[in-house]
Structure 1
Amino acid sequence: MSRRADPCLSPKPRGECPGASCRGRSSHDREETAMHDHRRLGRELGLFDTDPLIGAGLPYWLPDGAAVRHALEEYVRDAERRAGYRHVYSPVLGKRELYELSGHWAHYSEDMFPPMDLGGEQVVLRPSLCPHHALIFRSRPRSHRELPLRMAELGGMYRSELSGVLGGLTRVRAIQLNDAHVFCTLEQVAGEARAALEMIREAYGAMGIVPARYRLSLPGPGGKYVDAPDLWRRSTALLTEALDLAGLPYEAAEGEAAFYGPKIDVQVADGAGRESTLSTVQVDFHQPERFGLRYVGADGARHRPVMVHRSVVGSVERAVAHLVERHGGAFPAWLAPTQLVVLPVSGGELPDADALARRCVALGLRAEVADPERGSLAARIRAARLVPYQLVVGAAEAADGRVSLRLRDGRRIGPLPADEVLARIGALVGARATDLWDAAPKAP
């Protein structure tokens, strides 16, 4: 994960500093920002928590947080599958020699956990998935007909972050990364990078978030970068071409590249204007060379592929942290921990409410019943204010199979046949729509 840039010192994206909110903010604005701090709100909503016996930077996910995380992971896997990616699993451990070969040990070891002695060998918790994917590529002969070969994994990796920079979900030591590597010819690189940027754009639309800016991250002074000027020039030119093809404004930033190559960082900002990197696209000539990757071209000769690294939502932890702060817990319906709550007006409608909730679950919706014993109808409606859909079942509705629907944004629909309402909600959630009803029919 890239370190956070100071947004107030960053060049202005699209004529506006992403950290403008850092200056001249009212006390009300500061209170709003504090209210939406994911570290506080995430715990209040029962999404995640920590324990000193587990350790700093190692949060655990509670059921509601796990539901959000699962929905996000399923979205990414589905988007990757439709884009032609094949999914793999690889171990979270590797021999020290693996990371010496990849270059991580020479350029990144201070951010890795110490090696563990195991049967006369040293194994390391991986700081990145790319070395494993390079080994998978070279595990068998490859032909140009297979390229571009798109390999994806939602996998764990580990960073030895200092305790002073750890915070909530944004900076952790155990990371679940949405990672992928495209092995392709030189002529395919710009198109693959542009396609990755389009996947990122679509994902941000579904999640209801907006990039603060696109950053072309370049090497800076010092010895932490691979010394291969020609490869850096070629990689930078290809990423610039991809950004231009996508029609995206961007800013160059020295000192933010990966040790092996430049990258496009998609920056997001929290309510205080603080920036962090969420998604990345990288071009890598270094690791294909280090691992001796080859494919047989149309000419029958052996050629070296280029490796495009790409992450649509970055780490699941940081993505959820940003979603909490962006939406204040009122997630898009497809991401909401509870998507639908059934509210019987009285105990007499409780059996009908239970049956309706079971139908919702059978349709793949996350639903629950707000029992009348929890309080008055008004109190239960207030308690479910973050739930996208509230189905009210009174005596009249129970008698004729109808429900009155309340939307989280204040709209009221119905009474309508329960089948019609559930079908519409199921379709909207399945399409990962951002509108809760989308041109809903008028109540009769």
Structure 2
Amino acid sequence: MPRPASRRARNPAMHDHRRLGRELGLFDTDPLMGAGLPYWLPDGALVRHELEEYVRELERAAGYRHVYSPVLGKRELYEISGHWSHYSDDMFPPMKLGAEDVVLRPSLCPHHALIYRSRSHSYRELPLRIAELGAMYRSELSGVLGGLTRVRAIQLNDAHIFCTLDQVVEEAREALALITRAYVDLGIRASRHRLSLPGEGGKYVADQALWRRATALLREVLDESGIAYESAEGEAAFYGPKIDVQITDAAGREATLSTVQIDFHQPERFDLHYIGADGGKHRPVMVHRSVIGSVERAVAHLVEEHGGAFPAWLAPVQLAVLPVSEAQAGPAHELLRRARQSGLRAEVAAPGDGSLGARVRAARLTPYQAVIGEREAADGLVAVRLRDGRRIGPLAPAELLHHIGARVEARGTALWADA
């Protein structure tokens, strides 16, 4: 993938999301809520909301249909899926509800398997793409928790594609292409792609034919996509191999952000089927995929990648309006009104907040600054500063809002149409 133009050298100390995220008022923690359970402040909630809406729109355009499923499940559900026997060390303990044991889910896939199973399906309906931005919970040890990257309550961008065997490669390849598209729009890049394979021990489902079949298909996906990759044993999911899209943080630590997996195990365990052209029952294949992984880890990486200078469509404040003196307060607030009416996130930095130079510096992470002095007010114009140092205009307010709106709607990392 080409390196985004916005990428620059990062100072690990300056760009550590744990420090910068708190300084920018994106998130924080409290001992009474507990370790690994951060809360989102208003600006962080804005970034999260925009990111979630972006991925929903991306998925809808790619033919996904969204669902909601509960965060609890009976222990029996995870016994059927295999999580209880292969993954229970990472799950919270069961809670007693009368005669039943219920568990906070560690994954969304068993719920989506039940949603698929709740209706009969014909081969004509496949591939069926089910997506959800849903909560899941991992019983992480306190020693490995940190910021937004390792948490106990996770909001996962997850999806499961139920398809025929001859559709698997194309569906997995398209999922990988969706990930590539999102990384361009977000201004981030993969450090490498990894084919994650099983290791030794009882952690993995003991069906060698299953592993060989799924691994061969994922290799075909990677080869057809023209993506260089490395194989790594001991990194697979317990039920099957996966393609992991790796990222590197400001300190040089590597982590998985996005995944594509092929699963023959859970369709068998849940007795999933569809009616084929021959009128008989056939087993679908389940493709797991996540475009941005967990929202928490995605935001952490965006903070570190951009140093808080988010792409315009993600920025908590997109336009800062700076009147030079109180005499320009009227035009400044009129521009603010029009900007908000057009759907932009805008604020006025009034003269009472400091000198013009101080206010410009305070708004250095804001993509667009509109300066209104005596001449601009008299002419009905604004002087425009872009975050990257360029100066545009002067422009009429309507023209400025049109340019900003077009960049926000287009997403991506460019600040101006000619960038």
> TM-score scaled by structure 1?
0.91
Partner of 1:424: 403
- Displacement of 1:402 in angstroms is 1.2
Aligned to 2:360: 381
Per the alignment, residue 11 of structure 1 pairs with: none
Alignment RMSD: 1.3
CA distance in 2, matches of 1:94, 1:370: 49
2:246 is matched with: 267
d(CA) in 2 for partners of 1:98 and 1:399? 69
- Of the three residues 42, 45, 50, the one matched with 2:21 is 42
User: Does the alignment pair 1:143 with 2:160?
Assistant: no
**In the alignment, residue 148 of structure 2 is paired with which amino acid?**
L
Assess if the C-alpha contact under 8 Å between 2:10 and 2:305 holds in 1. no
Candidates 67, 70, 93, aligned match of 2:72: 93
Alignment of 1:356-435 (within 5 A): 356-435=335-414
Q: 2:169 aligns with which of 186, 190, 193?
A: 190
Specify the alignment match of 1:69 in structure 2: 48
Q: How far apart are 1:348 and its partner, in Å?
A: 1.6
Alpha-carbon distance in 2 for matches of 1:54, 1:258:
30
Number of residues paired by the alignment? 412
1:264 corresponds to which letter in structure 2?
A: I
User: Deviation at 1:365?
Assistant: 1.1
Deviation digits for residues 318-368 of structure 1 (CA, Å, limit 9, x no counterpart): 000111111111111111111111111111211221121121112111111
d(CA) in 1 for partners of 2:78, 2:320: 49
Q: 2:322 aligns with which of 322, 343, 348?
A: 343
Aligned AA (1:143): S
| 2-structure distance, mates of 1:403, 1:236 | 58
Partner of 1:60: 39
* DSSP-derived class of the 1:438 partner: coil
Q: Structure 1: state its 5+ residue gaps.
A: 1-28
The aligned amino acid for 1:43 is: R
Farther-moved stretch of structure 1 (397-406 vs 204-213): 397-406
Shift of 1:88: 0.3
Equivalents in 2 of 1:31, 1:368: separation in Å? 28
- What is the aligned partner in structure 2 of residue 14 from structure 1? none
Measure the CA separation in 2 of the matches of 1:400 and 1:81.
45
C-alpha distance in structure 2 between counterparts of 1:65 and 1:428, whole Å: 21
Q: Write the letter of the residue equivalent to 1:266.
A: V
Q: How far 1:417 moved relative to its partner?
A: 1.0
**Alpha-carbon shift at residue 376 of structure 1 (Å):** 0.8
* Amino acid of the structure 1 residue aligned with 2:192: R
Aligned to 2:110: 131
* Rounded Cα–Cα distance in structure 2 between residues aligned with 1:153 and 1:351: 45
5+ long unaligned stretches in structure 2:
1-7
Q: Deviations over 1:281-323 (max 9, x none)?
A: 0000000000000100111111000000000000000000111
Q: Which amino acid aligns with 2:267?
A: P
Q: Which amino acid aligns with 2:162?
A: F
Runs of 4+ in structure 1 displaced over 4 angstroms? none
Task: Compute the displacement of 1:30 (Å).
Answer: 11
The corresponding residue for 2:220 is 241
1:109 and 2:112 aligned: no
Distance in 2, matches of 1:149 and 1:30, equals 42
Equivalent in the alignment of 1:256: 235
How far does the alpha carbon of each residue in 1:258-302 deviate from its partner, in whole angstroms, 9 at most, with x for none? 000000000000122210000000000000000000100111111
Q: CA deviation at 1:31?
A: 9.2
Give percent identity, aligned residues only: 75
Q: CA deviation at 1:401?
A: 2.5
In 2, Cα distance between equivalents of 1:262 and 1:60: 33
Whether contact under 8 Å (2:367, 2:415) holds in the other structure is yes
CA distance in 1, matches of 2:321, 2:10: 33
Q: Residues 361-402 of structure 1, C-alpha deviation per residue, up to 9 Å, x if partnerless?
A: 121111111111001111100000000000111222223321
Q: Distance in 1 between matches of 2:95 and 2:59?
A: 34
Counterpart Cα distance in 2 of 1:100 and 1:362: 52
Aligned to 1:308: 287
Give yes or no for the alignment of 1:295 onto 2:274. Answer: yes
Residue pairs, 1:221-236, within 5 angstroms: 221-236=200-215
CA 1:186–1:31 in 2, change beyond 3 Å: closer, same or farther? closer
Q: Which residue of 2 aligns with 1:319?
A: 298
Deviations along 1:167-198, one digit per CA (max 9) or x if unpaired, are 00000000000000000000000000100110
